[in-house]
Amino acid sequence: MRLPTLPRTRTSAPACARCAVTALFPMLIAGPALAGEVAMSVQIPRLDVSEYHRPYVAIWLEGEDGTALANLAVWYDVRKKEGEGGAKWLKDMRQWWRRIGRETDLPLDGISGATKPVGAHALSFPADSAPFAGLKPGRYEIVVEAAREVGGREVLRLPVSWPPREAARADAQGGSELGAVSVSLKP
């Protein structure tokens, strides 16, 4: 990137420093905007069933060996009041529950959310903050699991290499409880 050329004038050192700061200010504020990003799209399909319930969805990051590293999103009925509330049904997402869910104290600030309606839902995670900031270079999987009351269960896995050297994308197509799921990595 080429720096803007400042006009040559005889000025004092403090005035010259102000000119330099003024000239570099756009680059200072553009830094965070140029940081990497992990963007996801999760589609909840319309199902033709007599009794429809929105699916519970868990999205988490796994290492190459299958070890769960971090929750990225958990969508469940956070408003249910009776008994354990909506958390009671989280066990239906079996893989998530066995890998990371049973040790998770819900709700997770910034991660837990309400169930989503039919449609595509976008998620975005800055690459320079948790959990991606501390990842060692290697291969990982972003796992998406959905389970629905009086319905089925489905798991999709999206392989990713970290850190991304160039823009990359992974796609998966669900067959019942999930529609198209994609993850895009931007360096």
- pLDDT per residue, tens digit, the chain (187 aa), is 555 554 555 555 555 555 554 555 444 444 444 479 999 999 999 999 888 889 999 999 999 999 999 999 999 987 766 555 677 789 999 999 999 999 988 888 788 888 999 999 999 999 999 999 989 999 999 999 999 988 899 999 999 999 999 999 999 999 999 999 999 999 9
pTM of the model: 0.79
6 belongs to a structural domain: no
* 112: containing domain: 35-186
Q: What is the pLDDT of residue 162?
A: 95
Q: Which candidate, 176, 131, 141, places its Cα nearest to that of 161?
A: 141
Could you tell me the CATH number of the domain that includes residue 79?
A: 2.60.40
64 belongs to a structural domain: yes
Q: Cβ contacts of residue 160 below 8 Å, gap of 6+?
A: 139, 140, 141, 142, 168, 170, 183, 185
Q: What is the pLDDT of residue 26?
A: 46
